[in-house]
Amino acid sequence: MNKIILFVFILFVFTNNSFAKTINIGTFGATYKIAEKDAIAELKQKAAQTDWKKYFNPKKIKSLVKNYSPDLIKLPRAGKNNSFLVDMTYTLDFDIPDGKGGILYPAGFKFNPLEYMNFSKILVIFDGTDIEQVQWCQNSYAADYKSTLLITGGSCYDLSGLFKRPVFYASADFIRRFGVRALPSLISQQKNYMEIKEIEIENNNTDPDSVAVKQP
């Protein structure tokens, strides 16, 4: 009987807004302290106890960045000024499903992205181990931020420091896809094609010290 009276009393309190906000009906049953650690506090504790220099050594990271080099192709110097067009049409060698049991684009489908986009930049490809090519780039496109600088040899880290701007690697896949045959070369869009211009650099008996790559 006492339990029924207590239940009615609790029901009355929680169905009356004015009482529900002000009346504390007490604690019923056994209570226990939370034994599990606070997850955030535990993470902070672990972070404070971890020697991060062991995992993120600045010298080691700098060395890895400086010495990184992907698969590259060594290309000859351009013997004369020359240009040619490259068709960027891609042919699918597999089916692309539509997610409904059908085929959205079948194998053999051809697609030229240049029919739908405008590539406004100029890609400048040169050999970063060739002092004369480095000097040519430094005197022509290094300060032109509409261009993107790519190298087939040398250090992106060192040349980025020399030019005070990012320099990237022209990977072997990139060179093969664009059909680059000699260096330095310029790549730009011409309607639905990419145009490759091979640039002949005259031998000026360049003083190596005048274009020496120095650490930033």
The Cα 51–Cα 32 span in angstroms is 36
Indicate the pTM of the whole model. 0.65
Residue 179: the pLDDT is 94
Q: What is the residue whose two structure tokens read 């040349």?
A: 159
The Cα 93–Cα 33 span in angstroms is 63
Beta bridge partners of 169: 151
SS3 of the chain: helix, strand, coil, percent, to 5: 35, 20, 45
The Cα 165–Cα 145 span in angstroms is 9
Residue 26: the pLDDT is 64
List, for the chain, all residue ranges whose pLDDT scores fall below the cut of 50.
8, 18-20, 205-216
Q: Domains in the chain, start-ordered, CATH in brackets?
A: 82-211 (3.40.30)
Residue 82: the pLDDT is 96
Residue 202: the pLDDT is 79
